């Protein structure tokens, strides 16, 4: 919970010998007497192990031979969601949970209508960075925007509901411009390629949706001025496009009273219809290799476009993703990690937007086994197309999907986030009630059909980031000739 995520386990290249690193040497250690340590205290003897057994071997017992019976209550009870609306169009969802004296509030703002075709979500990112992030780093309050919408979240003790709602209202209703913050965010957005994983993430979206699509990019777009951002803010942050989630130790009546006094005066234009994004192209390169000398491992991802969250195929795609690598018991995880020793982290994920999703599988590979690891991932995808999963594999994958949902819904903030996501992608708040049944209804045939529909060979795209040593081998992946881009040169050529 503490905030400074110092990578304390992380080390240097070998022992850090200060005297050998150049520059002025550190002060000489004081002369020490025999038996004294470097710091003038008695030297501590290192622990010694002689390997001699100190204990008595454990004795086996019949009840240890086989596993006890499993429970069947994998899915949590669906929460009861109450709702009401204000005259200005703001919708409020309330879930009462009185087990722990805390409350979480989350305001979701659908902004795609106001931002139109916001390529790569860059304007949204700036909008959130400039107007909704002044409290970044405070445990109670956060905010931001991406291509699916904006959010403001806050939480506190249950007795602090008025303050929690005030913090949300203050950010959403009175977002103030700050030229300094604007400049900082602009500078940060120009450094999108500095993180070692960023090139792969950005490129996958571009390969799957094109460079001018809302979910694609990156594309050289004109950067809005602060004044233009203010105009966008006035158009986007409106009550009629917003839903407020309140979850925790409170009551519907209490929420109603406090919301009314803080948000009933919020006004703004009614947003127009959400423009559908243009059809994404299916042609273009399928394999990109970013040459980067900055990382030792190789980041590799295989991805494909998936259905929108409200599509009837979506639950099957979620289960498919879990089967392929969403959890540590997946076959591909075991094969690539435990059998090959080729990747410490390997998994699958689904990024979902309002009108589409991305299913990605990959991880951080040992550089000597990266191509073999990617080949194994592609083979697992092919196997998913070719045959239905076994009943046991399917049952585990479905249980794992529900476990993830249960875990997310176990905290007030987690449940508020699930409700907000459901609202922004068009599933509605009822998704928290329907999810378990939707997952349970997925059949082995559904999963195979989803694999054939969304993971067809021609639909797959892949991106790798690493050193160039083995680029020629990439042709053997069957994704065509790789487009090879030198990351350092690319960054140097980017406009500010």
Partner 1 sequence: LEVGLLHRNIGGCAAAVGFVAAVASAPAYAGDRVLPSLPVVRYELGNGLKVLLAPDPSLIDVSVVVHYDVGSADDPPGKNGLAHLVEHLMFDGSRHVAPGDYSRWIARAGGANVNGMTRVDDTNYFVTVPPASLPLIFWLESDRMAFLADRVSSQSINTEVQLISDETRDRVYDRRTGMLASMGRLNLFPREHPYHRDATAVDLMFCGLDDVRAFLRTWYSPSNATIAVAGRFDVAATRSLIDQYFGDLPASPPPQRPALPARWRVHDVRIDAGAGIPSDVVTFMWATPALGQADDAALDLAAEILADPQGRLQHDLVAAGLAVSVDAKEMSSPRASTFAIMAALADGAAPDAVVARIERAVSDLAAGVRLEECKRAQDEAFDRQMLRLEGSLGRATALVETPTAAASWNLGEYDAFGPAQVAAAVRADLVPDRRVVVVMHHDPQYPGRGVVLKTQARLP
Answer yes or no whether residue 495 interacts with partner 1 by CB under 8 A: no
CB 128 within 8 A of CB 111: no
Site for partner 1 in 46-75 (CB under 8 A): 46-49, 51-61, 63-75
Residue 31 touches partner 1, criterion: CB under 8 A? no
Question: Binder to partner 1 among 396, 449, 459, 467 (CB under 8 A)?
Answer: 396
Q: List the one residue from 32, 80, 85, 101 that touches partner 1 (CB under 8 A).
A: 101
Q: Which stretch binds partner 1 (CB under 8 A): 1-9, 236-244, 439-447, 468-476?
A: 1-9
Compare residues 212 and 433 and give the one whose CB is closer to partner 1: 433
By CB under 8 A, the residues from 211 to 250 that bind partner 1 are: none
Among 31, 39, 87, 222, binds partner 1 (CB under 8 A): 39
Question: From CA 261, how far away is CA 249, in angstroms rounded?
Answer: 20
Regarding 337 and contact with partner 1 (CB under 8 A), the answer is yes
Candidates 80, 176, 194, 476; binder of partner 1 (CB under 8 A) is: 194
Give ∠ CA 35-38-44 in degrees, rounded to 5: 55
The residue from 221, 296, 387, 468 that contacts partner 1 (CB under 8 A) is 296
Does residue 34 touch partner 1 according to CB under 8 A?
no
Restricted to residues 338-377, the positions that interact with partner 1 (CB under 8 A) are: 338-339, 341-345, 364-366
CB of 118 closer than 8 Å to CB of 128: no
Contact segment (CB under 8 A) with partner 1 among 110-118, 220-228, 410-418, 445-453 equals: 410-418
Residues in the chain: 496
Measured CA to CA, the distance from residue 286 to residue 116 in angstroms comes to 28
Q: Alpha-carbon distance 214 to 308, whole Å?
A: 14
Residues 131-170 that bind partner 1 (CB under 8 A): 134-140, 155-159
Smallest separation (angstroms) from partner 1 to the CB of 334: 6
Opening angle at CA 69, ends 65 and 74, nearest 5 = 135
Question: Nearest 5°: phi and psi at 435?
Answer: -60, -45
Identify which of 111, 449, 472, 176 has the alpha carbon closest to the alpha carbon of residue 311.
Answer: 449
Among 395, 437, 440, 445, binds partner 1 (CB under 8 A): 395
Touching partner 1, residues 436-475 (CB under 8 A): none
Q: Cβ 166 to partner 1, closest distance in Å?
A: 15
Decide whether 133 or 423 has the Cβ nearer to partner 1.
Answer: 133
Task: State in angstroms the smallest separation of the CB of 431 from partner 1.
Answer: 17
Measured from the CB of residue 146, what is the shortest distance to partner 1 in angstroms? 20
Within 470-489, the residues that bind partner 1 by CB under 8 A are: 488
Bridge partners, residue 150, by sequence: 109, 145
* CB closer to partner 1 out of 31 and 56: 56
In 217-342, the DSSP E strands lie at 242-248, 287-291, 298-306
Could you say which DSSP state residue 64 is in? G
User: In angstroms, what CA-CA distances link 372 with 25, 203, 204, 286, 300?
Assistant: 46, 22, 20, 18, 11
Q: Does 25 bind partner 1 (CB under 8 A)?
A: yes
Q: Report if residue 76 touches partner 1, rule: CB under 8 A.
A: yes
Give the nearest distance from C-beta 34 to partner 1 in angstroms. Answer: 15
CB 480 within 8 Å of CB 287: yes
Is residue 495 within 8 A of residue 328, CB to CB? The reply is no
Question: Residue 204 CB, nearest distance to partner 1 (Å)?
Answer: 19
Asked whether the beta carbons of 208 and 462 are under 8 A apart, the reply is: no
Closer to partner 1 by CB, 113 or 190: give it.
190
How many whole angstroms separate alpha carbon 487 and alpha carbon 356?
28
Tell me: does residue 494 bind partner 1 (CB under 8 A).
no
Q: What is the strand order of the sheet 298-306 is part of?
A: 343-352, 357-365, 298-306, 461-466, 287-291, 483-486
Tokens 């209508």 label which residue?
A: 113
Site map 304..333 versus partner 1, x via CB under 8 A:
-----------------------xxx----
C-alpha span between 125 and 105 (Å, rounded)? 21
């Amino acid at each position: 919970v503490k905030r400074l995520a110092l990578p304390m386990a992380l080390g240097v290249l070998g022992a850090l010998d200060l005297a050998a690193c150049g520059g002025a040497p550190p002060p000489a250690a004081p002369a020490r007497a025999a038996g004294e340590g470097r710091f003038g205290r008695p030297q501590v003897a290192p622990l010694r192990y002689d390997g001699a057994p100190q204990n008595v071997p454990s004795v086996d017992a019949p009840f240890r031979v086989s596993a006890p019976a499993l429970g069947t209550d994998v899915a949590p009870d669906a929460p009861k969601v109450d709702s009401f609306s204000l005259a200005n169009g703001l919708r409020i969802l309330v879930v009462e949970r009185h087990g722990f004296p805390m409350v979480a509030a989350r305001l979701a703002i659908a902004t795609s209508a106001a931002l139109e075709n916001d390529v790569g979500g860059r304007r949204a990112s700036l909008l959130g960075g400039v107007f909704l992030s002044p409290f970044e780093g405070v445990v109670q309050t956060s905010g931001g925007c991406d291509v699916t919408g904006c959010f403001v979240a806050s939480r506190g003790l249950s007795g602090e509901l008025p303050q929690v709602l005030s913090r949300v209202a203050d950010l959403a209703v009175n977002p103030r411009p700050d030229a300094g913050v604007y400049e900082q965010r602009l500078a940060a957005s120009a450094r999108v390629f500095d993180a070692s994983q960023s090139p792969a993430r950005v490129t996958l979206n571009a390969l799957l949706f094109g460079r001018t699509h809302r979910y694609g990019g990156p594309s050289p777009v004109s950067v809005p001025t602060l004044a233009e951002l203010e105009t966008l803010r006035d158009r986007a942050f409106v009550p009629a496009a917003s839903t407020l989630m309140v979850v925790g130790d409170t009551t519907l009546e209490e929420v109603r009273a406090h919301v009314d006094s803080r948000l009933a005066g919020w006004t703004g234009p009614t947003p127009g219809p959400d423009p559908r994004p243009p059809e994404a192209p299916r042609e273009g390169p399928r394999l990109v290799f970013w040459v980067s000398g900055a990382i030792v491992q190789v980041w590799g991802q295989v991805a494909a476009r998936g259905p929108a969250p409200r599509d009837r195929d979506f639950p099957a795609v979620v289960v498919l993703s879990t089967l392929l690598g969403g959890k540590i018991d997946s076959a591909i995880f075991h094969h690539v990690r435990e059998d090959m020793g080729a990747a410490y982290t390997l998994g699958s994920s689904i990024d979902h937007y309002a009108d589409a999703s991305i299913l990605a599988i990959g991880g951080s590979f040992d550089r000597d086994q990266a191509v073999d690891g990617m080949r194994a991932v592609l083979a697992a995808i092919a196997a998913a197309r070719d045959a239905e999963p076994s009943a046991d594999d399917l049952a585990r994958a479905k249980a794992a999907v529900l476990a993830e949902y249960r875990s997310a819904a176990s905290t007030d903030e987690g449940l508020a986030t699930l409700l907000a996501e459901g609202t922004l992608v068009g599933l509605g708040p009822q998704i928290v009630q329907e999810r378990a049944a939707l997952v349970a209804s997925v059949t082995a045939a559904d999963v195979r059909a989803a694999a054939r529909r969304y993971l067809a060979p021609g639909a797959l795209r892949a991106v790798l980031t690493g050193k160039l040593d083995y680029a020629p081998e990439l042709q053997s992946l069957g994704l065509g000739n790789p487009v090879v881009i030198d990351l350092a040169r690319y960054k140097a050529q980017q406009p500010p």
